[in-house]
Amino acid sequence: MNAPRKLKVATTSLAGCFGCHMSLLDIDERLLELLEFIEFDRSPLTDIKHCGPCDIGIIEGGVCNAENVHVLREFRANCKILIALGACAVNGGLPAQRNHLDLRDILAAVYVTEEGLVPGTQIPNDLELPLPLNHVHPIHEVVNIDYFLPGCPPSGDAIWKFLTDLLAGHTPRLGHGLIRYD
Amino acid sequence: MSETNTFILDDQEIPFTPGQSVMQAALSAGVFIPHLCYHPEFRPHGSCKLCTVKINGRPATSCTTPAAHGMEVESNTPEILDKRRTLVQMLLVEGNHFCPSCEKSGFCKLQALGYELGVMTPRFNLLYPTRPVDASHPDVLLDFNRCILCELCIRASTEVDGKFVFALSGRGIKKHLVVNAESGRLADTNFSLADKAAQVCPVGVILPKRKGFAVPYGERHFDDAPISAHVDEFKPVMPGQEGRS
Amino acid sequence: MKNSDAIGVVLKRHGNDGTRLMQILRETQEALGWLAPATLTVIAAGINWPRSRVESTAGFYSFFHTEPLGRYRVLWSDNITDRMLGNMDLMQAMCEKLWLEPGRVSADGLVSVDTTSCTGMCDQGPAILVNYRAITHMTMERINQMVELIHVQTPLAEWPAEWFKIEDNIRRADILLTNTMAPGEALRISFARGTATEVETSFSERSWHESMQASDIGASATLDEIKKSALRGRGGAGFTTGLKWEACHNAPGRTRYVVCNADEGEPGTFKDRVLLTRQPDLVLEGMTVAAFIIGASKGFVYLRGEYRYLLEPLNAVLAKRRKLGLLGENILGREGFNFDIEVHLGAGAYVCGEESALIESLEGKRGVPRNRPPYPVTNGFLNQPTVVNNVETFASAALIAAKGGDWYRSFGSARSTGTKILSVSGDCERPGIYEYPFGVTVRQVLEECGAHDTQAVQVSGPSGICLNRDEFDRRIAFGDVPTAGAFMIFGQQRDIFEVVRNFVHFFAHESCGFCTPCRVGTTLLKNLVDKIADGNGTRTDIDEIFHLNRLLQTTAHCGLGHTACNPLLYTLEKFRPAYERRLKLLKFVPAFDLDAALSQARQMTGRDDAGAHLEPQSEVAQ
């Protein structure tokens, strides 16, 4: 019997802190076991810049700027299934705590009215910089998401259980202790 | 002891004493029914709807429905579990629930029910309401972002403390907690950390100051086992219920 | 007069009685303009309630404001029928002339303009309330004059009287609306009933008779007539009136109450307004007959706040009836029969049409439906046995008390006896009030009111049934198309989706917020419908509507939540193209405009390059 084709997996962090990616590495030596079944496409682990056709896309972080939207759309367009990984992807998380403030007030406070700014400081308008959205959104508000794995971050064990369930063809089920919102 | 006072809950025979609700009888028998606004020391409220079951095929809140002999009650069916999951999701999108930064995490009944029911996503678009906190009181912080409007603090302050510190104002999605002061500030009420109302919040609204994150991960209340395994904590202690045969 | 003095006068008028808080708040607000924090403190002290509970009540009702909303508060009735008459354009024009945004108070604090739920003037819209006084037939010309009057701060009392004229528009009258019975006649006949021969005819109710004292024979015999008539409640639920009254009579209690539900909040309904205008004696007599039968000594008419203008006329009728000995002590000389009625005004809360919420409101509290059982017939106002019936039910009961159950049964059909008053509005030549014997077809109503090329009829308001043209031979009756009275007609040119959207917004606005599914669910539904309206809807969103419906129907606390999805369900079934032509082909589209979400950053950075914009998702990308 032929060895099954390795599944292509892409990962990225949008408005996140890479903590979920660190947690992915926390599955430790099991990562090697995992690599028998998967290979990474676009990911901070590979430094591939754009996503090709993939079986699984894993998104950390919420959507806070235009670039996040482009990346998320690229993943949705290329990945058969898309997973929201961690609190920020699931409900906006810490970055979304700015949502009750007006973005204009935030930008003005940070770049214009804050004490101690170098004179002449202005709100950055470099074309290279992505513009922030009025509000931070969890990723399911921007594209269709197939699976959610909450946690800040989800533990390495939770990620392991989730991915191995998925690879084995099961709908992932996390028991007590693995499903966590914090 | 009457042998005739039983009903069927998901194929299990549950005994009850007359006057008990379906919820009280189930909890007494060690069978957990999810709930948020029910509290063993207070009269049933029936607002969170998490405890919805089907009684003889009709939906009903188990906390407000008196147990009756021969009832057939369905609780853990896929249909009802789906509804409970959706109700938890509604509460998660209605408020601002950021567990990583909440002192109540690990002790929170909403969170524990989310785990119990396998809620992996808020599902709906989040409403992100603006709800300023009230830090005026020397001993207690009020973080309204997490309020699920179960009215337990209102009932405790009214019925046990006799202080009427809390009440609801507004209507519909704009319904919110207010305190008994013209200024709207908790500091201007006679609220005290020793009040019953300070002890009953199932989520992280009423918090003692200078005491956050005192218990390490792994040792918090609901870390050891799912909330359903904590069923003994919710057994009824309503006056008049004990000692009946 | 100082504010505290003004509040003192109101408190004194109501005996510092907290159960009268609704009236105290309204009258205080009428005197002071708004309910300031300090005002609530004074009221709380006056009625010896915790301040938090007073704020709780004040914060629940749309017509109480705990922040200043201007010396003139203009509220545009926002039923779909007002919309069809162009109310949104008129409101916008008014706002522009007043230099303000809807929902905001003008900079000088003089005036605010906003929308409100249907004010019950659907046959003479677009309608508004100014300081809770109804004005109908709004036009640009009236707006121009009104803006002038507001600018020069002319008191409302000096505004043109014809603006405040409310038409009855009775187009078809039957036994209720043609009634010419003298006040007291139904009572006299009821008192006289119970002679030997009369009792003989009602032997089937023997067991109940035996529980009554001899002096109650007139009451029991009249109850028999009510039961024989098979009268069912006209508020929508259709419970058998005789059984309700009997249960209330038999319930143990210190005292008993009769409550007339004149909250008439179901959008598109205005027949109770006309009954209370044209036949107030018949309604009040029905209440007095009920009191006679159940043994009540106190009655209330719970009048919706939108009908504030009816308060003084109704009080005048009550005063006249007291003078005639039809209310008060020993009514019509009958020893020991003491009964009086008081009008209580609501303050803008549809949910108070639910009887237990209405009772909560009567007690001065938030209008939140109670857990049931127990029902009001055993545990109602102040926990005493209470009969709550609709205006039309009491009017019908008065006729039955006078003319007998057999006479009444000769109208209508076997299962739906008597007549039904319909409030007809929308696309027809003669909107207004139509009283028909039960069993009339929808088609006949449409013909008689001059409706042509009708696409749909919404019967019984947003929570009722939407009928399409294949169903116009159905009959208005409990067994077929039951109704509380609303009959809104939509011509072929109307967009049914906009009708639904109006109704969904209504439910979100009126949810009391007690239970999770209705409080959050009605808002989620509103957001979904707005998403579809914005052209961002997908089939996934339609699936979500059905999912939410299953939850609300089974877990909501009261009828408002149970029926909140009805407009969506009926129209998804019968008018699906109204949705489909708005849906995207995609499986998923965000609910918000991503490009618009960059607007504030563009504004602050001054950028407008390609990178400062987001294209919509391509239809083929998924």
Kindly provide the b/e burial profile for residues B169-184, where b requires at least 16 CB atoms within 10 angstroms of the residue's own CB.
bbbbbebbbbbbbbee
CB atoms within 10 A of CB A17: 17
Average pLDDT score over residue span B203-208? 97
- Alpha-helical (H) ranges within C33-168 are 37-47, 51-58, 80-84, 87-98, 140-151
Q: What is the pLDDT of residues B38-86, one digit of tens each?
A: 999 999 999 999 999 999 999 999 999 999 999 999 999 999 999 999 9
Question: Residue B172 and residue C519: Cβ atoms within 8 Å?
Answer: yes
Nearest CB to B115: which of A90, A97, A179? A179
Indicate the domain borders of chain A. 7-98+133-167
Six token digits for residue C9: 């006068």
- Between CA B64 and CA B58 the distance in angstroms is 14
List chain A residues with CB under 8 Å of C603.
Answer: 104
Given a cut of 70, whether residue B242 has pLDDT beyond it is no
- Helix locations, C266-340, DSSP H: 271-278, 280-294, 311-323
Q: How far is A49 from chain C (nearest CA, A)?
A: 19
Does residue C603 have a pLDDT over 60? yes
Statement: residue C204 has pLDDT above 80: no
Whole-angstrom distance, CA of residue C439 vs CA of residue A171: 55
SS3 C341: strand
Tell me which chain B residue has its CA closest to the CA of residue C515. B47
pLDDT for the residue C457 = 98
Q: What is the assigned CATH class of domain B83-208? A: alpha beta
**Which of B99, B123, B226 is nearest residue A181 as measured by Cβ atoms?**
B99
| pLDDT at C202 > cutoff 70 | no
Q: For A65-96, what is each residue's pLDDT tens digit?
A: 999 999 999 999 999 999 999 999 999 999 99
Amino acid at C43: I
Q: How confident is the model at residue C588 (pLDDT cuts 50, 70, 90)?
A: confident
Q: Which pLDDT band holds residue C370 (cuts at 50, 70, 90)?
A: very high
Say what the pLDDT of residue A139 is: 98
Residue-averaged pLDDT of chain B = 94
- Backbone φ, ψ for residue C570 (5° rounding): -65, -40
Does residue B151 have a pLDDT over 90?
Answer: yes
Whether residue C208 is predicted with pLDDT greater than 70 in this model: the reply is no
The residue of chain C with its CA nearest to that of B172 is C513
Give the other-Cβ count within 10 Å of B12's Cβ. Answer: 14
Does position C378 have pLDDT exceeding 50, yes or no? Answer: yes
Q: How many other CB atoms are there within 10 angstroms of residue C61's CB atom?
A: 21
Across the A/B interface, how many CB contacts are shorter than 8 Å? 72
Concatenated DSSP letters for A63-110?
EEEHHHHHHHHHHHHHEEEEEEESHHHHH-TGGGGGTTS-HHHHHHII
Beta bridge partners of A10: A57
Q: Does B244 score more than 70 pLDDT?
A: no
With CA atoms as reference, the chain C residue closest to A72 would be C617
| H-helix or E-strand spanning residue C517 | helix C516-533
Structural contact between residues C176 and C395, judged by C-beta atoms closer than 8 angstroms:
yes
Q: What is the pLDDT of residue C218?
A: 92
Distance in angstroms (rounded) separating the CA atoms of residues B52 and B49:
5
Q: Which of C168, C166, C216, C167 is nearest to C190 (CA)?
A: C216
Provide the shortest C-alpha distance from residue B129 to chain A (in Å): 7
- Whether the CB of B243 is below 8 Å from some CB of chain A: the reply is no
* Closest listed residue to residue C124, CA positions, set C235, C265, C274, C311: C274
Residue type at position C438: F
Contacts of C613 in chain A (CB under 8 A): 66
Distance from C-alpha of B96 to C-alpha of B201, rounded to nearest angstrom: 16
Is B121's CB within 8 Å of A90's CB?
yes
Q: Which residues of C touch A (CB under 8 A)?
A: 540, 587-588, 590-592, 594, 596-607, 609, 611-614, 617, 621-622
Q: Answer whether the bond into residue A53 is a cis peptide, omega within 30°.
A: no
Whether chain A has a CB inside 8 Å of the CB on B72: the answer is no
- CB-CB neighbors (< 8 A) of C514 in chain B: 47
What are the CA-CA distances from residue C204 to residues B187, C200, C207, C224, C400 (Å)?
67, 9, 8, 9, 19
User: Residue C489: in which H helix or E strand, if any?
Assistant: strand C486-491
The secondary structure of residue C255, as a DSSP letter, is: -
* C207 band by pLDDT with thresholds 50, 70 and 90: very low
Tell me which residue of C407, C380, C389 sits closest to C241, measured CA to CA: C389
CB-based burial label for C476 (10 Å; 0-12, 13-18, 19+): buried
Confidence band, pLDDT 50/70/90 cuts, at residue C276: very high
Q: Do A181 and B122 touch (CB under 8 A)?
A: no
Percent of chain C with pLDDT over 90: 92
For residue A12, list its beta bridge partners.
A59
Secondary structure letter of residue C321 according to DSSP? H
C391 within 8 A of C276, measured Cβ to Cβ: yes
Top CATH class of A7-98+133-167 equals alpha beta
Rounded to an integer, the average pLDDT of C603-618 is: 90
Using CB atoms within 10 Å of the CB of residue B101, give its burial: 0 to 12 exposed, 13 to 18 middle, 19+ buried. middle
CA of C591 vs chain A CAs: smallest distance (Å): 7
Q: Is B240 helix (H, G, I), strand (E, B) or coil?
A: coil
Give me the mean pLDDT over the C173-193 stretch. 96
d(CA A53, CA A7): 11
Residue B100 in contact with partner chain A when CB distance is under 8 A: yes
Closest CA to A148 of A156, A159, A137, A160: A159
The ipTM (two decimal places) reads: 0.96
DSSP-derived letter for residue A152 is S
Percent share of chain B, pLDDT over 70? 96
**Touching partners of A (3+ C-beta pairs < 8 Å):** B, C
Q: How far is CA B56 from the centre of its chain?
A: 25
Cβ of A87 within 8 Å of Cβ of B98? The answer is yes
**Is residue B243 scored above 60 in pLDDT?**
no
User: Which of A73, A103, A144 lies closest to C587 in CB terms?
Assistant: A144
Q: Which chain B residue is nearest to residue C512, measuring alpha carbons?
A: B172
Contact residues of A toward B, CB < 8 A: 84, 87, 90-94, 96-97, 99-100, 135, 138, 140-141, 145, 147-150, 152, 173-174, 176-177, 179-182
CA–CA gap between residue C154 and residue C148 (Å, rounded): 9
Average pLDDT of span B223-243: 80
Length reported for chain C: 622
**Alpha-carbon gap, residue B217 to C91, rounded angstroms:** 57
CB A158 within 8 A of CB A174: yes
Q: Mind listing the pLDDT tens digit for each residue in C47-93? A: 999 999 999 999 999 999 999 999 999 999 999 999 999 999 999 99
Residue C31, classed as helix, strand or coil, is helix
- CB-based contact C605 A125, cutoff 8 Å: yes
Q: Using CB atoms, which residue from C596, C604, C621 is nearest to A77?
A: C621
Best mutation target among C528, C604, C613, C618 (most A Cβ atoms within 10 Å) is C604
What confidence tens digit (pLDDT) does each residue in C441-456 have? 999 999 999 999 999 9
Q: Is the pLDDT of residue C290 over 70?
A: yes
Task: Indicate the average pLDDT of chain C.
Answer: 94
- CA nearest B83 in C: which residue? C551
Cβ pair B99, B133 in contact under 8 A: no
Reported as a single tens digit per residue, the pLDDT across C22-43 is 999 999 999 999 999 999 999 9
Beta bridge partners of B7: B14
pLDDT at C616: 84
Which of B168, B188, B189 would best serve as a mutation to test chain C binding (most C beta carbons within 10 A)?
B168
B239 pLDDT more than 60: no
**Is the separation of the CB atoms in A99 and A135 below 8 Å?**
yes
Q: In the structure, what pLDDT confidence band is assigned to residue B212 with cuts at 50, 70 and 90? A: confident
Q: Chains with 3 or more CB pairs closer than 8 angstroms to B? A: A, C
> How many CB atoms sit inside 10 A of residue C475's CB?
16
Is the CB of B121 less than 8 angstroms away from the CB of A135? Answer: no
C257-262 sheet: strands from edge to edge:
C340-345, C298-303, C257-262, C386-390
Q: What is the pTM of this model?
A: 0.95
d(CA C195, CA C220): 11
List the helix and strand counts (H, then E) for chain B: 4, 9
Cβ within 8 Å, pair A66-C600:
no
Q: How many helices (H) and strands (E) does chain C have?
A: 26, 14
Domain ranges in chain B? 6-76, 83-208
Count of B–C CB contacts within 8 Å? 119
Residues paired with C339 in a beta bridge: C328
CA distance B179 to chain C (A): 6
DSSP designation for B50: T
Q: Do residue B114 and residue A181 have CB atoms under 8 angstroms apart?
A: yes
Whether residue A141 and residue C600 make contact (CB cut-off 8 A), yes or no, is no
**What average pLDDT does the structure give for chain A?**
95
Res. A2 pLDDT band, cuts 50 70 90: low
| Distance between start and end Cα atoms, chain B | 5
Smallest Cβ–Cβ distance between B128 and the set A99, A140, A177 belongs to A99
- Helix H or strand E encompassing C465: strand C465-468
Nearest to C270 by CA among C354, C175, C352, C167: C167
Query: How far lies B196's CA from each of B165, B166, C514, in Å?
Result: 11, 12, 23
Question: How far apart are alpha carbons C569 and C579 in whole angstroms?
Answer: 12
Region C206-213: mean pLDDT is 45
Whether A131 sits inside 8 A of C621 (CB atoms) is: no
User: How would residue C203 be classed by pLDDT, with cut points 50, 70 and 90?
Assistant: very low
Residue of A nearest to B112 (CA): A180
Res. C216: pLDDT tops 90: no
- Reading the block at residue B203, the tokens are 């989520």
According to DSSP, the β-strands at C340-345 and C298-303 are parallel
What pLDDT digit, counting tens, does each position of A33-59 carry?
Answer: 999 999 999 999 898 999 999 999 999
Minimal-distance CA residue of chain A relative to C540 = A144
* CATH numbers and ranges of domains, chain C: 3-58 (no CATH), 72-167 (3.40.30.10), 196-409 (3.40.50.11540), 421-494 (3.10.20.600), 509-622 (1.20.1440.230)
Chain A closest-CA separation from residue C614 CA (Å): 7
DSSP string, A5-49: PPEEEEEEESBS-SHHHHHHHTTTTHHHHHHTTEEE-SBTTTTB-
DSSP state for residue C484 in the 8-state scheme? S
C409, burial (CB in 10 Å: exposed 0-12, middle 13-18, buried 19+): middle
Rounded alpha-carbon distances, angstroms, from residue A39 to A50, A51, A170, B89, C382: 15, 13, 20, 34, 71
Q: Under CATH, what is the fold of the domain B6-76? A: Ubiquitin-like (UB roll) (3.10.20)
